[in-house]
Amino acid sequence: MGETSAQQRYQRKGGSAKQANGSSMIGTAPTLEEKLIEKSERERLVVWRQPVTTLHYFVRECGILGREYMVKLWRYKKMVLLIAMIVGSYYAAYRTPGPHQPLLQSIAKKFWWCWWWLWLGILSSVGLGTGLHTFLLYLGPHIASVTLAAYSCNSVEFPSPPYPDDILCPEEEVLGKEMSILTIMSKVRLEAFMWGAGTALGELPPYFMARGARLSGYDPDDEEMAEFEELQRLKERPEDMSFLDRAKLSVEKLVERVGFFGILACASIPNPLFDLAGITCGHFLVPFWTFFGATLIGKAIIKMHIQKMFVIIAFNEALLARAVGLLALLPVVGPKLEQPFKTFLEKQRKKFHRKPGTGASGQDHANILAWVFEKLILLMIFYFVLSIVNSFAQSYHKRIHKRNRERKAAQD
């Protein structure tokens, strides 16, 4: 049954592709059997099944992409030269002793801080939902640490340095001042905004992919558009739609009918279907600045304030102590879970109140929660790297078969 539906989908997709691209497409379009064989081969091309072939294809694809980007850079060589001169001048001034050095060092530190969170945001949203969830791994824990420190120190004026690399309470104790959520939100505003802007940038590949496919004619080899094309066909058969299909269709209708404010609404809430919104905007040729402007405002401003507030409220000192106390009520495992959390929170408070220049307690590393979280981060990063390797290898596999078909069509 699954193979029959897959064949029907490929037949419908192949027919619409030929209509969109004209008779010139017929010569290079693969047959149904060839498509199914290629798709099956591509799905098996993963590191844990064919490690040697996958790594070989990955290296070849990296080489091809590297050459392509070098060619593109050469086309804009004047701009590249100008940027290189600016960076070289800044580096020379940065290394030259003088009263200007503290200012340049501060600028460099702020730049790399912003770039770090921007890059993490991009990683979190690229790859049509397969991105590294950097909010859970980096930004969320950072906001939580700032929140815990703010309530413990009763201040957000942490000494810098070491902040933001490490958080210490101010030497002067702050009394008679109640910590507010807005104060903590303002402390993490820059990194949260840059992370949100990175997630907005990461939504551009689906948009440009769909836009390019619409302008140049649908490529039957491009499987990334298959989900969107299938959804368009399901509109004619609503009885075949699943709940997820109906949810996707509602997102598409909202974006298509409301435009800017529809995109803004989709981007302003945690929405795993937002990739479809980007594909929809590209397919219907929504102007770039309409799509990106709404996405940037929604993700970097509205959504980030919601997420910041949620983390800050969740790690409120009183609420957190109450939640840890409730763990003891769980049967059998409750007391065993309560003690590690209490130990972790107590060590965090001691770490915030230690004197500048003194290292954190060596016992911190022995805490089981810190150990588990560290291993979780490493595991997710490892999986993300593997997904990139598999994706590049499968792209090269698709490139090979497309090249062979074009060569065969030229000979015929």
Quick one: which H or E segment has residue 370?
Answer: helix 368-411
- Half-sphere exposure of 379 toward its Cβ, with a 13 Å CA cutoff? 6
> How large a percentage of the chain has pLDDT more than 70?
74
| CA-CA-CA-CA dihedral for 115, 118, 124, 128, to nearest 10 | -110
| Assessment of whether the complete model's pTM goes beyond 0.75 | no
Q: What is d(CA 156, CA 167) in angstroms, rounded to the nearest whole number? A: 10
Give, as one character, the DSSP assignment of residue 166. Answer: S
**Residue 25: pLDDT over 60:** no
Across 91-106, average pLDDT: 87
Per residue in 333-360, pLDDT (tens digit) is 777 777 777 777 777 666 766 666 555 5
**Residue 253 pLDDT greater than 80, yes or no:** no
pLDDT tens digits, 157-171:
888 777 877 888 887
Whether residue 17 is predicted with pLDDT greater than 50 in this model: the reply is: no
pLDDT digits (tens, 9 = 90+) for 272-317: 667 677 777 887 788 899 989 999 999 999 999 998 988 888 888 7
CB atoms within 10 A of CB 391: 16
At 268, which amino acid appears?
S
CA distance 76 to 88: 18
Alpha helices, DSSP H, located in 126-224: 134, 140-153, 181-187, 189-202, 204-216
Mean pLDDT of 179-193: 90
Contact 184, 147 (CB under 8 A): yes
Q: Write down the H helix ranges in 45-188.
A: 51-75, 77-95, 101-125, 134, 140-153, 181-187
